[in-house]
Chain A
Amino acid sequence: MTRKDDMNDSIKPMIEIRDVIKKFGTFTALHGITADIREGEFFSLLGPSGCGKTTLLRAIAGFEPPTSGTVAIAGKDMAGIPANRRPTNMVFQSYAIFPHLNVEENVGYGLKTRKMPKAEIAREVAEVLSLVDMKNYGKRKAHELSGGQRQRVALARALVMRPKVILLDEPLSALDKKLRDQMQMELRSLQRSIGITFILVTHDQEEALIMSDRIAVMFDGQIEQLDTPEGLYRHPVNKRVASFIGVMNFLPARVTALSDTHLTLGIAALGEAQVPRDRLGKDVNPDKIDTIGVRPEMLTVLFDQDERSQNKVKGEVVDTEYYGDMTYYEVRLPGHDKPLTISMRNTAGRSVVAPGSTVSVGWGIESIVVFGE
């Protein structure tokens, strides 16, 4: 379906999801999901609200058995195996800390189920609590913890079980921005150091890009693209994925000439461009091309008329957004109503161009992504 970093394909899959369909009554929440998740990978399920991320995660955990299709974990088919006997542990969105137990009892809960001796449980719990930086909170109850601390307890409670896979359903969405950024880094480095496979559900594309080895982008119960963060960002397979990941400028385009090696595109506002055929995605049929996309940082506002660029067009700055290190320009080009978003680093000696000014916009052929219908 999509590009993969083939180098890693030799690593054996930890989870094999095959044609998983999930129906709730007449409503189909998952339309045949197929994916492999590798051992030790930080894998994210990304998509808008209601696309079926949680449903897929719960199918892996064993809470929502698929209507059809199979889920295998570590080479073993999970059909008929209930959630309490699967080698997975979950970090719930609400954290689900048992309110009548303290932190230590919460974390030791699953070990007690395994009938581990008390002393051993205490040792394991202490170890994992210090791993998540909570060793001084062992005697507290859930209501005496902050959101971030609850999150750590929920994570510790899963980690202590040493599962093959840890499933996280939007674990950071209840935290404020600053804490979320910090937890993203912590979670990522923790996962790297212990090497357990993580599957993270999120609707935050930035979070997915920062944390994941690979991401499955889901829409309407289907995986639209499964790729590395870079692959998704640079080579989105369609307009939906492209607009969901980062910012993308779209311009109407059509093929004006075709040769064996190249096709010539007529792009609104930008003009003609020659694109090598091998730059097209596998799924893109030259006859169906109607749009190109270009990322804000792939365009340049040319401050100096002599600055070199492959192609240049004149446009009018309609708005600017100043971010300190970066400035976002909204530039309208003749022949296209919607202004393009262009991001520029604020390097030394370069001041922000005021709205209303006329500027040149530089672009290169290698920066455009071609989309079909």
Chain B
Amino acid sequence: MAWHFDREAGQGLKLISPTLLYVLVMLAAPLLMVITFSFWTQDYLTIDTTPTFANYREAWTTPLYQVLMWRSLKISVIVTGVTVVLAFPIAYYLSFHVKKRKALWLFLITVPFWTSYLLRVFLWKVILGYNGVFNTAFLELGLIQEPLTFILYNLNAVVITLAHAWAPFAILPIFVALEKIDRSLLEAATDLGDSPMRRFFRITLPLAMPGIVAATLIVLIPTVGDFITPRLVGGTDGLMISNMIQIQFGKANNAPLGAALAVSSMVVIGLISAGIFLVGKKLGGRVR
């Protein structure tokens, strides 16, 4: 059967074609390059273009890379969990209990974005450091006897910093999903005998599921690949897979291996995201 475009579809295509072209060039092309690279080999200064799986074999079997991949996944899962769990009550409060000036509140949530992310990470260093705000304050108050060291230059610091940075991105989709819930559905559930708690689990949560899934994916996907935060506050225990990819493309001068690591982590994240999406859909039922 021949491709059939009706007039409207054709027009639509024309309208989006500049954007489409841009996306193709800026997104798909580099991606294709990375994938191609991953099948080549670095031969000191030149590149051997014979296709091979050697890079993938190395990426998947070398203990160091495995550790880094697991750690990246672990960090991003923890960050996502913490962020979504903290974001939900905020979104809920905004949606259900703020009667006036919702827009103002949403606006305030974006305030942290007014400064650069780098600056915000540095601020966390100041807060969490050995002589940082946190330790000094708690020492002064006599709550701790000596400065806490487990809060900077390790995994915890990465989690705290990332969770803070991504919170607004998690709040917004959950807020939108909650706003979309018809309030008469909640009254109907009450009318049919549900206590507020039961109603929350039977109506509010399932209907908010699309927002929760969106929030989860929005936080999970980019945090796996984050490399600034681990570099600045992670110490050596907090390094993640992206730091290794960066090293391979840079100092180690092994772009094909770096590409194989990048593609591998992309596939892993892709699978996890698909899984989350399906589970969310099942939990939320077919919500429209």
Contact = CB atoms under 8 A, between A and B. Distances in A.
Contact of A89 (B182, B185, B192, B285): B192
Interface in B154-199: 182, 184-185, 187-195, 198
Contacts of A101: 285
A100 B184 CA distance: 14
B286 interface: yes
B193 A100 contact: no
Given A84-B195, A101-B285, A143-B288, A96 B184 contact: yes
B258 interface: no
A178 interface: no
A84 B203 CA distance: 15
A98 B188 contact: yes
A99 B287 contact: yes
A143 B195 CA distance: 26
Interface stretch (A108-116, A120-128, A304-312, A351-359): A108-116
Interface string A318-332: 000000000000000
A201 interface: no
B241 interface: no
B284 A100 contact: yes
B230 interface: no
A157 B206 CA distance: 20
Contact of B188 (A96, A100, A141): A96
B207 interface: yes
Contact of A141 (B187, B190, B206, B286): B286
Contacts of B287: 99-100
A205 interface: no
A303 interface: no
Contacts of B185: 96, 98-99
Nearest to A61: B191
A270 interface: no
Interface centre among B192, B195, B206, B287, by most A CB within 10 Å? B192
A274 interface: no
B288 A99 contact: yes
A110 B193 contact: yes
A85 B182 CA distance: 22
A88 B182 CA distance: 21
A62 to B, nearest CB: 8
B27 to A, nearest CB: 34
B193 to A, nearest CB: 4
Nearest to A154: B188
B269 to A, nearest CB: 28
A156 to B, nearest CB: 12
Interface centre among A63, A88, A99, A161, by most B CB within 10 Å? A99
A84 B187 contact: no
B140 to A, nearest CB: 47
Contacts of A93: 184
A94 interface: yes
A109 B192 contact: yes
Contacts of A114: 193
Interface residues of A, number: 25
A291 to B, nearest CB: 42
Interface string B275-288: 00000000011111
Interface string A283-304: 0000000000000000000000
A161 B198 CA distance: 18
B193 A99 contact: no
Interface string A73-97: 0000000001111001110111010
A90 B191 contact: yes
Contacts of B206: 100
A114 B195 CA distance: 11
Contacts of B188: 90, 92, 96, 98, 157
Contacts of A100: 206-207, 284-287
Nearest to A142: B288
Contact of B192 (A63, A94, A110, A143): A110
B145 to A, nearest CB: 50
Interface in B197-219: 198, 202-203, 206-207
A96 B207 CA distance: 13
B192 A113 contact: yes
B34 to A, nearest CB: 40
B199 to A, nearest CB: 8
Given A98-B185, A100-B286, A89 B207 contact: no
A101 B190 CA distance: 16
Contacts of A157: 188, 192
A27 to B, nearest CB: 16
A340 to B, nearest CB: 45
A99 B207 contact: yes
Nearest to A82: B190
B85 to A, nearest CB: 22
A161 B193 CA distance: 10
Nearest to A167: B191
B114 to A, nearest CB: 37
Interface centre among B188, B198, B206, by most A CB within 10 Å? B188
28 contacts: A63-B187, A63-B190, A84-B190, A84-B191, A84-B192, A84-B195, A90-B188, A94-B182, A96-B182, A96-B184, A96-B188, A98-B188, A98-B203, A99-B207, A99-B288, A100-B206, A100-B207, A100-B284, A100-B285, A100-B287, A109-B189, A109-B192, A110-B192, A113-B192, A113-B193, A114-B193, A141-B286, A157-B192
Given A85-B193, A110-B193, 17 more contacts: A61-B191, A83-B191, A89-B192, A90-B187, A92-B184, A96-B182, A96-B187, A98-B203, A100-B206, A100-B287, A101-B285, A109-B192, A110-B192, A113-B192, A113-B198, A114-B193, A157-B192
Nearest 3 pairs of A and B residues by beta carbon:
A110-B192, A100-B285, A96-B188
